[in-house]
Structure 1
Amino acid sequence: MDGLVNTKPTKAVIYCRVSSKAQEVTGHGLESQETRCRQYAQAKGYDVAAVFPDTITGEGDFMKRPGMVALLSFLDSQPDERYVVIFDDLKRFARDRDFHFRLRDAFRQRDASVECLNFTFEDTPEGEFIETILAAQGQLERKQNGRQVAQKMKARMQNGYWIHNAPIGYRYQTQKGRGKVLIPNPPLDSIVKEGIEGFASGRFATQAEVMRFFDSFPEFPRNRHGQVVQQRVADVLTRPIYAGYICSERYGLNWLKAQHEPLISLETYDKVQKRREGAAYAPRRSNIGDDFALRGIATCACCDAPLRSSWSKGLTKYYAYYLCQTKGCKAYGKSIPRDKIEGEVGEIVKALTPTQSLITLTTQMFKDAWAMRSDQAKANIAAGKRRLASIEREIEQVLARIMDTNNDTVIRAYEDKLAKLEREKVKQSDILVNQMPGKGAFDKKLELALRFLANPWKLWETGHVQARRLVLKLAFGGPIAYCRNEGARTPKISIPFKMLGGISKGEFFYGADEKTRTSTGVTPQRPQRCASTIPPHPHA
């Protein structure tokens, strides 16, 4: 036994690396590297204790690679063991000259040796020189590859293709001859579109309301805490990508027309930015007006103040009321049942029904107005083309001035002016595209307009608060004064209904009979004041 030699095998660990997750999924880089390293270890008689894979480059810094950090921690946990670290290729070691030798020192400090399948490490001046050359070559290749990738990515963006992660509401689809292209991703595309347009129109008064809207959809992306945060909402509201344009500070690109389908118009995008730059709004509070169609529209006939709305608790249920809360007013604190006042206003809406002859006349008026608009659009297109040509000449002049100067301050000023001109060019181009209505647009819009004008009552009787408010907004030209004792005053009718009704002598009903007029409780002229004595409502 004394003559036997200790043949305990040397312990080894294997390190494998590919440059991205995509290579791990679509290729066999990690698997093939591990196989070759295990074959090498077996031929050398090494006992492989562990394998440490990586799927990122770390940009040359090995401490940014989770696998390499785990390998070094493994060696630190066993300071009494001496390991051999096996690499498939020198490029998997480190593709940066400085980091290469720092990693070599890290292994020496841990008493670990390094072996590579296609390179022999030698601790000699000649070996160190060759190693330095190969490490520098790897660094050069890495930087050249990075430059080529950046150039290709910029070129693709210049061609109108987005290259980064798909924005919320889009997804990538590979198309023949075009590569990966953004396409709308239902249902997120409609959610994002509604959120942006809602903020632009004022439906959502604040960004916080947009956030709550997005949060109401379980499918909307959230952070790791399961929340929709303000920053994500701000990104959605400020990205030109949703309007169909590409901007990139990294690649110096401003307002390039994109190849994908936009979710919103450029006009909507501009409205959003103006609203975000405007005055701040107070945080949202509970709005009881969501249950009252006339809130903010009905006013007290005695003092002209808007009627307030409230719910009153009875013995078995709650009751909805409007009331005046102006101190000193004769109607102060006197409540009006919601169904009563909204029912009377509904009768006024019901009476706004023109005759068939007026509908025919209106149709012809629409056609004449549409023809005038088409002629005006043609003139606007001609003027827009002239302005567009002028902008392009200005851009060429600015570019020429940039080429002729070496002053950095002047160059930055010209670049800012160039960005503004490019933005104006995009806006002008968008205006030209939208000047002429599309084929069939007239018939579609005419049908919608006449459908409402012919029977606004149909929309009112749905009972939806928002639908009723839309009817009131389109049918009347101002608030509706209401007296608790006498009913609604004569409201101001909007111009379309005035034209249809041929209002004269204080009448605004379209041929309604006396019974219909009486049932609405509307007086032809507004009195100077309410009756002096108004009995209080039992629930006031």
Structure 2
Amino acid sequence: MDGSVNTTTKPTKAVIYCRVSSKAQEVTGHGLESQETRCRQFAQAKGYDVAAVFPDTITGGGDFMKRPGMVALLSFLDAQPDERYVVIFDDLKRFARDRDFHFRLRDAFRQRDASVECLNFTFEDTPEGEFIETILAAQGQLERKQNGRQVAQKMKARMQNGYWIHNAPIGYRYQTEKGRGKVLIPNPPFDSIIREAFEGYASGRFGSQAEVTRFFESIPEFPRNKHGRVNQQRTTDILTHPAYAGYICSERYGLNWLKAQHEPLISLETFDKVQAMRSGTAKAPKRRNIGDQFALRGIATCACCDTPLRSCVSKGKGGLYPYYLCQTKGCEAYGKSIPRDKIEGEVGEIVKALTPTESLITLTTQMFKDAWAMRSDQAKANIAAGKRRLASIEREIEQVLARIMDTNNDTVIRAYEDKLAKLERDKAKQSENLANQMPAKGAFDKKLELALRFLANPWKLWETGHVQARRLVLKLAFGGPIAYCRNKRARTPKISIPFKVLGDVSGGEFFYGAAGEN
């Protein structure tokens, strides 16, 4: 093609190009269907036969070769080089909202011997016509950029008000609320999955990010990529997303640790622990494979060598036989097994003896109230100190902002911006610490009820037989390991502080003291 235009033959065939900027516009008055209807009416009035319609749902800015509908239209013209077509547009803004690409597209049609007609604009190949077309193309580009700027300003303002504006993170979904617009709310069951992942990583249940990924993959309904997998990048994006802790951060808009309007799934403390784990500055606590059959695994020790007893399951003719044993070579109890039910039954007798009298429970209640009052006084002092620290951080932020305004050095500005981000982070952490200092109203009664229920009868929880419940009893009732001797049974372990105090008050009468040596 030499770029010349055949002006001797008037075209009788037409193609229609329709474009909207988004899916939402397809159903409005300026949607694709209404554009096509008007263009067909225009073609009919001009006596053109419409050969094809090419729609696009894409922004008009930028390269027109990135629009699938326009690419298809040009390919259609290329496939029929001997035919002359009129390309019909509903509005000049549907042509191109970029001045340079507007005239490149005009040249592309000229090279294919196609003319262009618009319902509300007449193209003229004259200097005056080209001038007017240039002005209108530039106006379309100006409007597009102004609209983009306005949208960006509104998005930034909404984020500054604490509202997340991008795609909802996994574990959340959007809900429209009167007066607030679209707000993130927890999305079951994914919210509990995300919470479990964070808390599991922070506590050491998951020793690495790879284990978190495998946890996600173990859940069939968890979102996957097109290959049906949960990749490491998705896990990284989740574990580093401040929105889960209830904060808004945006590098694009320069926002750092703004308190969000939506409900957090985890605490900022948990989020910080996860970041420390990821960076290697914190180590996961040592994890024991306690299994699901042995309540004393990692708690019971050999009385001869003070080494934790191992747990095993032996298979015999009558079925499976669980037992504990010492596997320390050189120990006199090496290899000698102890039936699980025997040792756990004897420890249960110790637990059963930890039952204080009614008068001791009354005394304990008063002790709790006194301790709670002291804690409340301490909390007030901590709040006062925290407010002073918060005010100090805010003053530092104001100073850094003033320094940023006073300098033109890009390197210095970046350094100040990094410091500002750190201060905003400290401010968010200090604010959360303040919010957690004072207990909620009625919290004392609830916690006291649970504590007294356990202190009054720890045997009731042990008697359930659940391994995790029994391990909880051991953790709360005893202050250390339980030494066990095959010949002398379980030695009385070190009693935890609450029970020890009760024992001291009562003279130790309610403790199980005949089980073995102290």
- Aligned partner of 1:534 in structure 2 is none
Give the superposition deviation at 1:120: 2.4
TM (norm. structure 1) is 0.87
The one of 463, 473, 480 equivalent to 1:478 is: 480
Distance 1:218 1:25, change over 3 A: farther
Range 413-422 or range 63-72, more displaced: 63-72
Q: 1:479/1:122 Cα in 2 relative to 1: closer, same or farther (>3 Å)?
A: same
Q: Does 1:12 align with 2:5?
A: no
The 1-side partners of 2:452 and 2:282 are apart by: 39
Question: 1:9 and 1:247, CA in 2 relative to 1: closer, same or farther beyond 3 A?
Answer: same
- In the alignment, is the contact (CA less than 8 A) between 2:54 and 2:70 conserved in 1? yes
2:448 to 415, 440, 446: 446
Report the AA paired with residue 72 of structure 2: A
Could you tell me how far 1:288 is from its partner in structure 2? 6.8
Q: How far apart in 2 are the matches of 1:26 and 1:448?
A: 59
User: Which residue identity is paired with 1:122?
Assistant: E
* Matching residue of 1:231: 233
Partner SS, residue 50 of structure 1: strand
Q: CA deviation at 1:403?
A: 1.6
AA partner of residue 302 (structure 2): C
1:8 to partner: Cα distance: 12
2:171 — aligned with what? 169
Partner residue, 1:97: 99
Give the conservation status (yes or no) of the 8 Å contact 2:60–2:94: no
Match of 1:353 in 2: 355
Corresponding position of 1:342: 344
1:499-522 C-alpha deviation (Å, 9 max, x unpaired): 1222999xx67255xxxx66xxx3
**Residues 358-507 of structure 1 mapped to structure 2, 5 A cutoff:** 358-502=360-504
Query: How many pairs does the alignment contain?
Result: 509
Q: Which runs of 5+ in 2 are unaligned?
A: 1-8
Instruction: Give, as a single letter, the amino acid of the residue that structure 2 aligns with 1:304.
Output: D
Kindly indicate whether the alpha-carbon contact (under 8 Å) linking 1:289 and 1:309 is maintained by their aligned counterparts in 2.
Answer: no
TM-score w.r.t. length of structure 2: 0.90
Secondary structure of residue in 2 paired with 1:60: coil
Shift of the 424–332 alpha-carbon distance from structure 1 to 2, 3 Å rule, reads same
- Does 1:62 find its partner at 2:55? no
> Superposition pairs for residues 125-140 of structure 1, below 5 Å?
125-140=127-142
Distance 2:169 2:140 in 1: 35
SS in 2 for 1:256: strand
Partners of 1:51 and 1:267 in 2: how far apart?
A: 57
Instruction: Check whether the contact 1:352–1:509 (CA below 8 A) recurs between aligned residues.
Output: no
> What secondary structure is seen at the aligned counterpart in 1 of 2:116?
strand
Match of 1:183 among 182, 185, 206: 185
Tell me what 1:531 maps to. none
Corresponding residue for residue 215 of structure 2 = 213
Comparing 313-322 and 248-257, the one that deviates more: 313-322
SS in 2 for 1:119: coil
The question of whether the paired residues in 2 share the 8 Å contact of 1:58 and 1:64 is answered with no
Q: How does 1:273-312 map to 2 (within 5 A)?
A: 273-278=275-280, 287=289, 289-312=291-314
In structure 2, relative to structure 1, the CA distance for the partners of 1:85 and 1:384 (3 Å cut) is: same
Superposition pairs for residues 236-275 of structure 1, below 5 Å?
A: 236-275=238-277
Q: Compute the displacement of 1:390 (Å).
A: 1.7
Q: How far apart are the structure 2 equivalents of 1:269 and 1:418?
A: 20
Question: Against the structure 1 CA distance between its residues 357 and 114, is the aligned structure 2 distance closer, same or farther, given a 3 Å change threshold?
Answer: same
**8 Å contact 1:295–1:307 — kept in the other structure?**
yes
2: distance between equivalents of 1:116 and 1:251?
A: 39
Distance 1:286 1:400, change over 3 A: closer
Q: Does the 8 Å contact 1:405/1:411 carry over to 2?
A: yes
Q: Of the candidates 168, 178, 194, which is equivalent to residue 192 of structure 1?
A: 194
Counterpart of 2:431 in structure 1: which amino acid?
A: S
Instruction: Note closer, same or farther for the CA distance 1:334–1:405 as it changes in structure 2 (3 Å cut).
Output: same
| Cα distance in structure 2, aligned partners of 1:442 and 1:435 | 14
In structure 2, relative to structure 1, the CA distance for the partners of 1:335 and 1:74 (3 Å cut) is farther
Identity %: 87
Q: Distance between the aligned counterparts of 1:459 and 1:354, measured in 2?
A: 15
Q: Deviations over 1:371-408 (max 9, x none)?
A: 01111111111122222222222222222222222222
Q: Secondary structure at the match of 2:249?
A: strand
Separation of aligned partners in 2, 1:264 and 1:285: 22
> CA separation in 2, counterparts of 1:334 and 1:479?
20
Bigger Cα displacement from structure 2, 442-451 vs 259-268: 259-268
Counterpart of 2:510? 510
Offset, 1:144: 1.0
Deviation at 1:296, TM superposition (A): 1.8
Aligned-partner Cα distance in 2 for 1:345–1:80: 97
Quote the offset at 1:27 in angstroms: 5.6
Residue by residue over 1:313-372, the C-alpha shift from the partner in whole angstroms, topping out at 9 and shown as x without a partner, is 323633323222222223333333323322322222222222222211111111001101
Residues 354, 511 of structure 2: 8 Å contact kept: no
1:100-134 deviations in whole A, cap 9, x for unaligned? 22323333344433322222233344333332222
| Letter aligned with residue 145 of structure 2 | K
Counterparts of 1:92 and 1:146 in 2: how far apart (Å)? 17
Residues in 2 aligned to 1:13 and 1:373: alpha-carbon distance in whole angstroms:
79
1:146 to partner: Cα distance: 0.6
Cα displacement (A) at 1:154: 0.7
**Residues 482 and 58 (structure 1 numbering): CA distance in 2 closer, same or farther, change over 3 Å?**
farther
CA distance 1:359–1:81, change in 2 (3 Å): farther
How many angstroms apart in 2 are the aligned matches of 1:106 and 1:325?
84
How has the CA–CA distance of structure 1 residues 45 and 478 changed in structure 2, closer, same or farther, with 3 Å as cutoff? same
In 2: Cα distance, 1:504 partner to 1:325 partner: 40
Shift in Å at residue 81 of structure 1?
Answer: 4.1
Separation of aligned partners in 2, 1:235 and 1:69: 35
Q: Alignment partner of 2:502: what SS?
A: helix
CA distance in 1, matches of 2:80, 2:101: 24
Please state whether the residue corresponding to 2:121 is helix, strand or coil.
coil
Q: Name the CA shift for 1:357/1:151 in 2 (closer, same or farther; >3 Å).
A: same
| Offset at residue 286 of structure 1 (A) | 11
One-letter identity of the residue aligned with 2:56: D
Aligned-partner residue type, residue 524 of structure 1: E
Deviations 1:158-208 (A, max 9, x none): 111111111222222222222222222233223322322232233333333
Alpha-carbon distance between aligned partners in 2 of 1:334 and 1:10, rounded to the nearest angstrom: 101
RMSD: 2.8
CA distances 1:198-256 after superposition (whole Å, capped 9, x unpaired) = 32233333333333433444443222233333322222222111222111110001111
Q: How far apart are residue 87 of structure 1 and its match?
A: 1.4
1:142 Cα shift?
Answer: 0.9
Which is worse superposed, 200-209 or 244-253?
Answer: 200-209
User: SS where residue 171 of structure 1 aligns?
Assistant: strand
**Which of these residues, 158, 161, 168, is aligned with residue 160 of structure 2?**
158
Structure 1, 8-17 or 381-390: larger mean CA deviation: 8-17
Equivalent position of 1:535 in the other structure: none
Quickly say closer, same or farther: Cα 1:296–1:63, change in 2 above 3 A: farther
